[in-house]
Each structure stands twice: as C-alpha cells, then as structure tokens.
Chain A
Amino acid sequence: MSQLIWNGLFVGSFYALVALGYSMVYGIIKLLNFAHGDLYMLGAFSGFAMLGAMGGLVKSSSLVALFVVLILTMVATGLSGVVIERVAYRPLRGAPRLSLLITAVGASFALEYGTRIVAGPNPKVYQVRLDGTALHVLGALITWQQLALMAVSIVLMVALNLLITRTRQGRAMRAIALDPKACLLMGIDVDKVISRTFFIGSALAGAAGVMAGGYYGKIDFLMGFIIGLKAFTAAVIGGIGNIPGTMLGGLLLGLLESFGTHFVGGQWRDVFAFGFLILFLTVRPTGLLGERVTERV
C-alpha cells in the first residue's frame, strides 16, 4: 500500500515537471504545445549525448555527473523551446487557433523524426543507471536515487513557484496571461516574456527527461508522445494554467496510475490515465484548482 503511494508520488513528480511547461505555455498564450513532450525526449537525448562525451568521469560519481548534465540539458532544451516558439509559433500569433495547433503538431513531428535521423531509430541505453540500496520506510522500498530525483523535482517546482509569484518576471507572465494587449500598452515586452516562458517550461521538461533517462535507463525517440499526453492529463486534472494545481495534478495522476496498475493490470495503465482525462473533462473541465473561465466575445 505505502509502496503504491510512493511509486505514484515518484512517477507523479515527473509528470508534474513536464505538465508545468504545458500549463505555463497554455496559461500565457492559450496554446497547447504538442511539442512539449518531445522536449522531454530531447532532454533525455541531449543528456545521453553529454554523458557519452564525458565518458570515464561518469563511472566514478554517477549522481554528481547526472546533476551537472541535468543543468546543461536544461539550458539546451530551454533554448530549443525558445527556437521552436520563434520559428513555429510567433509568426502565427493572431492567426486562427487551428493553425497554431497544426504547427504544434508539425513541430512535434519534426522533433521526433529529426531526433530519429540524428540518433537512429533504436532505443538507447543510458550510461548512468540509478539503482541503489533501498530503504524501508513504512513498508515501502525507497532508493536513495529516487529520493534524490524527487528532491530535485521539488526544488525545481518550488523555485518555479517563487519565480512566478515573487519576481518582476513572474508578474509580467501573470499579467500577460490575463491580458496580453493591455500588457503591450503598459510597456511589457510581451514577445520577450513569452520566449522566457518557453525557456523555463522547456528546461523543466528537459530536466524531467534526463531524470527519466537515468532512472528508467532506456530512451527512444517516441518517448515524449505518451508523456506529453500524460502531462496534459495532469494539467487538466489540476486546472490548466494554474501552477500549484498542475503540480497537484501530476502527483494525483501518478497516484491514480499506480493504484490503477495495481488493480487493473499494467497493460491498461495508459488507457486508465486517458479514460480519466475524458472523465475529468466531462465532470470538471476546469480542473481541481482551476477557475471557471468565461470567454468574452
């Protein structure tokens, strides 16, 4: 029982990290960034490439190496996110929503199959495998590595929350989410803030990618597809556009999946999650913490 809860919370913290990027981008420009899951994949692959470049250093101190790679990858995926926004989304600002969604699908496709061209179609095995001695806490098996990864996720989420609620930059983001036109009139450089939002969201997804690579040990170029869907589900459960809600949603989805897998069977895990998404959209589309949005004409 406590093992199920722990597994759920652990997986859920990954979901929450990826979902945050979704939620931020949606909150600020009302775009479902389909390419977001692929940035997670890109993070895993760039982490893989960097670990490969570091070579012998990795073996001696795997967790430290992974931490360094994590930071570098966050910068790399963050920049990729900015480039994608600049190339694929910015030219279409003000265009109909359908066009934006379609370019997002195109961006996702280009990332997936671009990675396939570069890295090859076969799954890669991470050089660093995080499995260590387990602790027994209330009947659950918890490894130190799990604890470390969980701690990193929590630190990142807390940092993000502080950034959004306490800084000038965060205030600008919240303002744009409310009314981009008024922000322009108030002298906020909207494009720049949107770029930064993409940077932060993509960096978080990249971090989750590296951690997932290190934890699960295997990565492939389509790994971002399912996680993107899951992250969206998490964002919807918590209330898309709402940062604490999204974190809650991620953890909740992890728990749901963990229990669902236990009671229904592992092969139905994804069906269970998406079924829940549809159910949630039917019953409470604004999510647990989301506010009811009235669309003005």
Chain B
Amino acid sequence: MSAGKGATVQDPPVKPVKGRGPTFVTRFLESRHLGWAGLAIGLLAPFVIATPYAMDVMTSAVVFVMLAVGLNIVVGYCGLLDLGYAAFFAVGAYTSGVLSTELKIPLLATVPAVIVVTVLAGVIIGGPTLRLRSDYLAIVTLGFGEIIRITANNLSITGGPSGIYGIPGLFGDATSSQVVFYYAVLLIVAAAVLLAARLGRSRIGRAWRFVREDEDAAEAMGINTYKVKLAAYIAGAIWGGLAGVLFAAQLSAISPASFTFLQSALVLMAVVLGGMGSTPGVVLGAIVISLLPEVLRGLADYRFFAFGVLLIIVMIARPQGLWPHRSRER
C-alpha cells in the first residue's frame, strides 16, 4: 500500500516464475474478446427482458457507461480529478436540445455543434487551471459544474428551471420504439468505449499514463505535459457531451435538476470502483452503479451515505479498483 509518488494504479510486481504463466482467471480477465462478449450480452439483453421499464433502465445504464468511460480518460488515464463532469453532460444535452427544438432538426445533426461547444468549454476551464497543481482542477471543475447548472437555471433559452421538452429523437422521430433506440445507443456507446480504449493504448494514451505516474519525469522526457493534460480533458469533455446528446434523446426533456454534483460524483464513483484506467473495470463499475438503485429501491436513504463510505474504503483498501488495469508493456 505504500505507493510511490504519483502511482495511482499499481501494477503488480512482475516476478519471472518459470513454468507458471498467468492463471486462468487472469487470462480470462485480460482477454481481448471480452469486449465483444460484453457487447453480445448487451445485444441479447432485450430478448431476455423487454418491458418498457427494463428497456429504460438498460438504456440509462448504457448512457452512464459512456459517461464513465469519458471520465476515465480524464481521471483514469491522466490522473486529473474532474468533479464537475456533469457540466459537460449538461453542455452536450442543452446544446443539442436547444438546437434541435429551435431549428427542428434531428439530434444526430447537432452532434458537430455539440462537439465544438464541449471542446470550447473544455478549453475555457482546462486552459487556465491545467497549468496549476492538479488539485486546483478538482475544485475549479466543481465550481464549473455549479456555474453550468445555475446558468441553465436562469437563462430563458434553456427554459429556466423547467428545462427543455419536446426534444426529437436521435433521427428526428420521437416515436421510434424503445428497443430500436436502445440498440442505437448501445452501438454508439460500444464504438465510444472501443475508441476510448484504443486512445488509452495509443501514443497519447501512453503519454497520459506517464503524466499520471510521474509528471516531472514525463516532462523531463520531452512530453509537453500541459498539452497532453489538456488533450485528456478535452477528450473527456467530448465524451461527456455526446453522452448528453444520448441522454436528451432518451428523455426528450432535460432540466437543470439532472446535472447536479450528485451526478458527477456518481460517475466518479463508477470509475473509482471499477478501477481507474481500466476500460472493462469502468464499464462494469458504471453498470453496477446505475443498476444498483433499481435493485435496492428500499434503501434509497442510505445509498449515497454508503457510496461515500465505499469511496473511502476503496481508496484505502483497494485503490486500483475491482478490475484493475494491467499494463501490457513489460
């Protein structure tokens, strides 16, 4: 447990033991085909249960996975704590909601605008703060989350406290069936998860991990840490914004109450619980966090208290999460 400076996710010590490879479980957990298996489970789920309630819960869970994977880029890969992630979620949802209802265009057509706006928001917030110590980022993002929520609450174009309603579906038809919508969301999110995982293994992904492990060493090796951190922050912003589009499409109505600090904290919880920097872990964490309230309806009062305590316990007892990332570079 005595982690070195900046070592957020510890790799297990590698001992070359002759005649014993990784165990079956390890090999199973690291299998590259696991992602496809997960997608298959997602695709087959509606055949098992397809009540409107179940479809709604499943769609929400998948959108939540998108959020968690996006936050994982910032927190998991790059080690920057973003406590206002719901702000990007809100920016995406509101941008697409306002554009689609004002211009009467399908939500998918608003995606380029959403990306532009979220990148802009990411630069505005990340630009000044990423030059500072990373803990400043945490609190500035916290403030940013509040700014966005209060702004949405007070502007007339965002509909004030009652929000925007009557948002058309993804393809411009609000009437399309739930199952079709679920499959559309599932495929989009699967692509996003795959992309995030590939990003994590790319050149810039290695730079992110390096910055997370030891920022000074990274800088000494010629990595422009500021640019690399900003890139992670912006990537996270885009993922969050796109998740917001899906959210707006699912509910067809958005209001500031959906984008509180609680939402940001839940996404963070999913990332920490699953394992920071580990794509399968984060996906699992997101599914657990989003389905848990449905299972434990009766314990609603204790839920968030338990989440808080769990955050502390996970960080003390198992900082690498339930399903930690294992580095392939040895």
Contact = CB atoms under 8 A, between A and B. Distances in A.
A92 B140 contact: no
Interface in A98-146: 98-103, 105-114, 116-117
Contacts of A232: 139
Contact of B316 (A103, A108, A113, A274): A103
Nearest to B129: A281
Contacts of A97: 6, 134-135
A91 B136 contact: no
A106 B129 contact: no
B75 interface: yes
B165 interface: no
A87 interface: yes
A275 interface: yes
Contacts of A295: 133
A70 interface: no
A91 B316 contact: yes
Given A103-B312, A229-B139, A229-B142, A274 B265 contact: no
A268 B134 CA distance: 27
B169 interface: no
Interface string A272-297: 00110110011001000000000101
B322 interface: no
Contacts of A156: none
Given A117-B305, A267-B154, A281-B136, A92 B316 contact: yes
A109 B140 contact: no
Nearest to A293: B133
Interface in B61-113: 75, 79, 81, 83
Given A94-B2, A232-B139, A285-B132, A107 B308 contact: yes
B308 A116 contact: no
Contacts of B131: 285
Contacts of A282: 127-128
A97 B5 CA distance: 8
Contacts, number: 140
B8 A229 contact: no
B50 to A, nearest CB: 34
A229 B143 contact: yes
Interface residues of A, number: 49
B132 A107 contact: no
B322 to A, nearest CB: 15
B263 to A, nearest CB: 13
A206 B195 CA distance: 47
Contacts of A225: 261
Given A96-B6, A297-B216, A111 B308 contact: yes
Contacts of A281: 128-129, 132, 136, 140
B75 A98 contact: yes
Interface stretch (B144-152, B242-250, B284-292): B144-152
Nearest to A222: B261
A202 interface: no
B178 to A, nearest CB: 32
A30 B7 CA distance: 17
Given A96-B8, A101-B81, A110-B312, A271 B147 contact: yes
A285 B7 CA distance: 26
A106 B311 contact: yes
Given A92-B315, A113-B302, A297-B216, 11 more contacts: A96-B3, A99-B3, A105-B268, A105-B311, A113-B304, A116-B305, A236-B136, A271-B146, A271-B151, A274-B146, A277-B140
List the 7 shortest-distance A-B pairs measured between CB atoms, nearest first. Answer: A106-B311, A109-B308, A110-B308, A274-B143, A282-B128, A113-B305, A113-B304
13 contacts: A31-B135, A94-B3, A95-B3, A96-B5, A102-B272, A103-B316, A110-B308, A229-B143, A229-B146, A270-B150, A274-B143, A278-B144, A281-B136
